[in-house]
A = this chain, B = another copy of it.
Amino acid sequence: MERLQRKLRFGQIGGGNGSFIGHVHRRAALFDGLTEFAAGALSSTAERSYESGADLLLPAERNYGDWREMLAAELGQPEDERLDYVCICTPNDAHFEPALAFIEAGFNVIMDKPLVHTSEQAAKLVAAVEQTGVTFGITYNYTGYPMIKEAREWVRSGRLGTLRRVVVEYPQGWLGERLEAEGHKQASWRTDPARTGIAGAVGDIGTHCESLMHYVTGLEIEALCAEVSTFVEGRAVDDDASVLLRLSNGATGILWVSQVCTGEGNGLNIRVYGTEGSLHWNQENPFELVHRAASGPVQIFRRGDSATARRGSRLPAGLEEAYFEAFANIYMNYSDTIRARLLGREPTALELDFPTVYDGARGVRFIERVIESGRQGAAWTNF
């Protein structure tokens, strides 16, 4: 297949000094050596943006004070130097505006999750993407793990039979105390409705669960019943939720998240039960996929056989890859899709294997439905 004879150029909005996720996006984007960090508007003030860019050895002329400056300047670049895509990894309240602006200006955009605050905003982004035809991605990064991809292939190929039950959990403990009252940066914006949106844990990690469940099983939520709680006194958003799910094929599901499960790190895990067997994957041992059939041994797969899993593995069996590599897989497929289009060909299904604006919009809908059910006393709510 023809190869693009140059590196892709990407610019980053947000993700400067003090950001948790910014460096992850950069490492993921650069991981395979075929992309260049070309521009940035890295922080919420011009001064801190410049400082972050300098620390990252960004060329001074493309180290911007804010995203509007970046947009204007990049539009002024000759086409063969213009950014190939823009990564937005600001807090949630600063997603919508730059995303819409860059999309409408014809830039490819990849964003952190959740997409935006409301389904109205989401619909506008969907429309803009459809209208402009830009390549849009959203980093539901847990779908990037090879063993998650392998799990999806097992479901698709029917090896698990008909699905009956899905359990997806995401316990964390880091917000077990009221860190936002102590000026903790990550805690502060995540518990401030003006910035994070209507949901706390449900938006921050619940949407990862929904994304993972959908990616692996292909099922849609038809209705849900959500007990949404705020355990830490004085907190302005939820920090814990338990959700019963009715799924599109008649399967039942449980989805629960918490940021007040003291002692938990990042315990995202999913179990999928079908008539022929089950799979279990746990983010804290992400290179293992555990399979159980009606009889025979428990089987622990440490490498996937499917094309999609193999494409996401860069090392032979016994040498492990983890968080950064999974994140890089999102970027690999996203940027290979851009490369294909630059070369004038249709991206392959393997290249297109990254979360899209529709996944982002569905995630926003999920947040809204869960919060609504919770407000109604955990009433059953159609999706």
**Residue from B31, B244, B258 in contact with A242 in the complex, judged by beta carbons closer than 8 Å:** B244
Residues A57 and B5 in contact, CB atoms below 8 Å apart:
yes
Residues of chain B lying within 8 A (CB to CB) of residue A302: 265, 284, 297-298
Per the 8 Å Cβ criterion, residues 298-333 of A in contact with B are: 298-302, 314-325
Per the 8 Å Cβ criterion, residues 25-64 of A in contact with B are: 26-27, 30-34, 37, 55-57
Contact with B along A200-217 (1 / 0, CB 8 A): 000000000000000000
Residues B165 and A261 in contact, CB atoms below 8 Å apart:
yes
Residue in B closest to A26 when the chains form the complex, CB atoms? B33
Residues B262 and A292 in contact, CB atoms below 8 Å apart:
yes
**Residue from B169, B174, B315, B323 in contact with A315 in the complex, judged by beta carbons closer than 8 Å:** B323
Besides the contacts A30-B33, A164-B260, A265-B302, what 14 more A-B pairs have beta carbons closer than 8 Å? A6-B57, A23-B314, A27-B33, A27-B314, A30-B30, A33-B57, A172-B318, A225-B244, A229-B252, A263-B292, A265-B317, A284-B320, A298-B300, A324-B325
Residue in B closest to A54 when the chains form the complex, CB atoms? B5
A370 to B75, CA, bound (A): 62
Q: Interface stretch among A88-96, A100-108, A122-130, A268-276?
A: A268-276
Residue in B closest to A320 when the chains form the complex, CB atoms? B322
In the complex, A113 has a CB within 8 A of chain B: no
Residues A318 and B56 in contact, CB atoms below 8 Å apart:
no
Residues of chain B lying within 8 A (CB to CB) of residue A7: 57
Residues of chain B lying within 8 A (CB to CB) of residue A299: 296-300
In the complex, A227 has a CB within 8 A of chain B: yes
A27 to B31, CA, bound (A): 7
Residue in B closest to A239 when the chains form the complex, CB atoms? B164
Residues B254 and A254 in contact, CB atoms below 8 Å apart:
yes
In the complex, A85 has a CB within 8 A of chain B: no
Residues B301 and A297 in contact, CB atoms below 8 Å apart:
yes
A6 to B56, CA, bound (A): 9
Residues B261 and A278 in contact, CB atoms below 8 Å apart:
yes
Residues B378 and A377 in contact, CB atoms below 8 Å apart:
no
A169 to B165, CA, bound (A): 13
A263-B291 in contact given A242-B244, A244-B244 (Cβ < 8 Å): yes
A378-B164 in contact given A278-B263, A323-B319 (Cβ < 8 Å): no
Residues of chain B lying within 8 A (CB to CB) of residue A293: 262-263
A172 to B165, CA, bound (A): 12
Residues of chain B lying within 8 A (CB to CB) of residue A275: 176, 262
Residues B23 and A240 in contact, CB atoms below 8 Å apart:
no
A193 to B36, CA, bound (A): 42
